[in-house]
Amino acid sequence: MNRSVMKYLAAVTLTTAGLLAGVQQASAAIALDRTRVIFNGGSHSMSVNISNQNRELPYLAQGWIEDDKGNKIESPLLILPPLQRVEPGAKSQVKIQGTPALNALPQDRESLFYFNLREIPPRSEKPNTLQIALQTRIKLFYRPARLQAGQNEYNDPWQKKITLTREGDKYRLNNPTPYFVTLVAAETSQSGKDIASFNPLMVAPKNSSLLTLSAETLGSTPVLTYINDFGGRPKLVFSCNGATCSVKENLPG
């Protein structure tokens, strides 16, 4: 990237985390076609679709990959092109390219990365104008070839295998699967309302995590909402027997 472009990016880029009170809420111009990315093992590359929702102005789209610790990386996955111009109302693609280093990743479970896309508005000709570069950050999962999901796996989702085990006044969520499981909501029953104090969490493959809610709050028939591969929100209905709760039903969402 040449020096003039770098200066331009530095001048106009503000992440949403740094927005000050009083700045009017802005909507993203550069939009993604998904809320998560699954990069299947055995693939050399894949593409995601982007579009410029602004019908009047062109925008730059800057993409990059981060590892699970938030560090920018160019291996085992990288973005091509890292910077492109998208005309008003136009569509384009961002390519996620795999490198030979993918072979060094665990092949018995998923690995987590983050896909980042930042929109950069054209330089304003008006003086004293604050320009905002909005950024989208979504999860990117590397899924080894042996774990690729088909219709059978989606009809009988692996999330049904998770269990809850009571530890004191809390429940521990156990994920015995080789996939990441993301939970976004909890209810005390199928007819209950979302518990406002529930903190969304993601449980790594073959791992466990303690829920922040008390076991008393969740009750003996907890319902947990998870995010599937397509961004849907199915519900897991649990039945508890003593200190252990298992899934008795998966409700489409």
Which of the pair, 18 or 154, is modelled with greater confidence? 154
Shared domain check, 177 and 126: no
Res 133: pLDDT: 81
Asked, as a colleague might, if the bond just before 76 is cis with ω within 30 of 0, I would say yes
| pLDDT over threshold 50, residue 135 | yes
pLDDT tens digits, 50-87: 999 999 999 999 999 999 999 999 999 999 999 999 99
∠ at Cα 132 (129, 135), nearest 5°? Answer: 175
C-alpha 222 chain-centroid distance: 24
Shared domain check, 208 and 135: no
Res 5: pLDDT: 42
Least confident of 65-79, 83-97, 109-123, 126-140: 126-140
Res 101: pLDDT: 97
C-alpha to C-alpha distance for 198 and 213, rounded to whole angstroms = 6
Domain coverage including residue 235: 151-251
| pLDDT over threshold 60, residue 124 | yes
Q: pLDDT category, 173, cuts 50, 70, 90?
A: very high
| pLDDT over threshold 50, residue 15 | no
Which stretch of DSSP H or E encloses residue 139?
strand 135-143
Shared domain check, 127 and 165: no
Q: Are strands 36-40 and 135-143 parallel, antiparallel or unpaired?
A: parallel
Q: Where are the alpha helices (DSSP H) in the chain?
A: 3-12, 151-155, 215-218
Shared domain check, 181 and 72: no
Residue 14 falls within a domain, yes or no? no
pTM of the model: 0.86
∠ at Cα 114 (91, 154), nearest 5°? Answer: 80
Res 206: pLDDT: 98
Shared domain check, 59 and 128: yes
Q: pLDDT category, 26, cuts 50, 70, 90?
A: low
Last residue of a domain, one of 147, 182, 202: 147
- Domain count within the chain: 2
CB 249, CB 229: distance < 8 Å: no
Last residue of a domain, one of 88, 123, 147: 147
Shared domain check, 235 and 213: yes
Shared domain check, 195 and 125: no
| pLDDT over threshold 90, residue 239 | yes
Residue 126 falls within a domain, yes or no? yes
Shared domain check, 64 and 128: yes
| pLDDT over threshold 70, residue 227 | yes
Residue 136: which CATH number? 2.60.40.10
| pLDDT over threshold 70, residue 49 | yes
What is the arithmetic mean of pLDDT over 218-229? 96
Shared domain check, 239 and 167: yes
Residue 8 falls within a domain, yes or no? no
Of 47, 51, 30, the C-alpha closest to 39 is 47
Of 218, 233, 226, 219, the C-alpha closest to 180 is 226
Shared domain check, 176 and 158: yes
Last residue of a domain, one of 147, 174, 195: 147
Res 126: pLDDT: 78
What is the arithmetic mean of pLDDT over 18-46? 77
Q: Please provide the average confidence, as pLDDT, over all residues in the chain.
A: 89
C-alpha to C-alpha distance for 102 and 44, rounded to whole angstroms = 10
